[in-house]
Amino acid sequence: MPEYPIKPAEPLDPTITSIQPGGGDVMEVELAWGKLRRWYLKTFRKSYVEAMAQLRRGTENKAPHEVLDPRDAKYYRNLGGYSWDTKDDPFAWRDKIPFARPGLAELLIYSFLTFGWAAIGTWVLRRWEWPLWAAIPGWLLTATLTVIGILIVWFFRNPTRRIPEGNHLVVSPADGKLVAIDRIEHDEYIGGPAVKIGIFLSIFNVHTNRTPIASRVIKIAYFKGQYLNALKPESAQVNEKLELSIQGTQAPFRPMLVRQIAGAIARRIVCWVQPNEELLSGELFGMIKFGSRTELVIPDEPGLEIVARLGDAVKGGMTIMARYPQTP
């Protein structure tokens, strides 16, 4: 069994200026709300601001605005800078709810728009008598908005996963359908032969991403691109994507690569880790908002067994994708 040389962590890609490098309308709304919130805190809750400053870790603010509490660091946690221990974070409970924390703003805004308009439509339709030709389209629109709202809530779910144990196991980095298993003669990052596994995420799948092994982050690279249907193999080459290069923290220190690829609907890639950060197997590191593709590239070694099969439905952090020979 080969043992791979330890790779040095590389500086963060300078094009990555937040955990969501592609930006987005909801992100802009949340940042605008943050500006108003900071004004309120500095004006009316000065003691809270002072207390949070005492608990704050870090010597440099790398966010483009003031950081008064953990909410202000949300989009910039991958840059280093200010942070708080979990015990000092009054909003740490948000990590425990069954929804992806980076998607809470979208969840709240889109749910309000869909369920809110559905509620208004229901009230209007029940408040007055309507002719059949007007009532039927009204109820159909109300039902459609309700279904869309339910799908949005379902989309941003983040269920707890039981992670299989074993340094020789590679777990799925995403939920979805396994659509490709390709052997590669030589992968530049792996440094030799590799296996590339493609997973398609529909709008009905959980969209968080997890690490395939216990690992250290070596490099994070972001590529702008198109938004082809993520089912098309060429989408991996031309679509917007983020590549997370990692290396196992235990011998034989296998290098692996996880690609988050945007799709026709999914246009918001999120990755909140930073170079040299250590992650557990199956640990959350990001998400792709609304339908997408995730690729996993692993070393192709003698004795490697690809456990998952084409067409399989896989679950991030839970499904075993591949198994290497166990070391004594």
For the segment 29-45, what is each residue's pLDDT rounded down to a tens digit?
999 999 999 999 999 99
- Return the higher-pLDDT residue of 264 and 92: 92
- Return the higher-pLDDT residue of 161 and 235: 161
| DSSP labels, 206-233 | --EEE-SSSEEEEEEEEE--B---TTST
Peptide bond connecting 325 to the previous residue in cis, omega within 30 degrees of 0: no
Please check the confidence at residue 153 and state whether its pLDDT lies above 70: yes
Pick the range with the lowest mean pLDDT from 138-152, 196-210, 220-234, 269-283.
220-234
**Helices assigned H by DSSP within the chain:** 25-44, 46-55, 104-127, 132-155, 235-238
Q: How far apart are the C-alpha atoms of 106 and 116, rounded to whole Å?
A: 14
Q: How far apart are the C-alpha atoms of 189 and 199, rounded to whole Å?
A: 20
Query: Has 292 been annotated as catalytic?
Result: yes
Please check the confidence at residue 74 and state whether its pLDDT lies above 90: yes
Please check the confidence at residue 174 and state whether its pLDDT lies above 80: yes
Interstrand relation of 278-279 and 215-223 (parallel, antiparallel or unpaired):
antiparallel
**Residue 220: which of 274, 267, 288 has the closest Cα?**
274
Please enumerate in sequence order all residues whose Cβ is within 8 A of that of 51, keeping only pairs 6 or more positions apart, or say none. Answer: none
Residues 185-218 as b/e (b if ≥16 CB within 10 A, e otherwise) read eebebbeeebbbbbbbbbeebbbbbbbbbbbbbb
| DSSP labels, 177-206 | EEEEEEEEEEETTTTEEEEEEEEEE-TTS-
Q: How far apart are the C-alpha atoms of 132 and 137, rounded to whole Å?
A: 9
The stretch 253-282 carries a mean pLDDT of: 90
pLDDT interval class at 267 (50, 70, 90): low
For residue 32, count other CB atoms closer than 10 A to its CB: 10
Q: How far apart are the C-alpha atoms of 201 and 230, rounded to whole Å?
A: 8
The pLDDT > 70 percentage for the chain reads 94
- In this predicted structure, what is the pLDDT of residue 225? 73
What mean pLDDT value characterizes the chain? 92
Q: How far apart are the C-alpha atoms of 257 and 154, rounded to whole Å?
A: 28
Please check the confidence at residue 244 and state whether its pLDDT lies above 90: yes
Q: What is the dihedral of CA 61, 64, 68, 70, to 10 degrees?
A: -90
Helices 46-55 and 25-44: angle between axes, nearest 10 degrees: 110
**Amino acid symbol at 171:** V
Q: How far apart are the C-alpha atoms of 198 and 293, rounded to whole Å?
A: 7
The stretch 313-319 carries a mean pLDDT of: 96
Q: How far apart are the C-alpha atoms of 4 and 181, rounded to whole Å?
A: 23
Q: Which two tokens stand for residue 58?
A: 């870090």
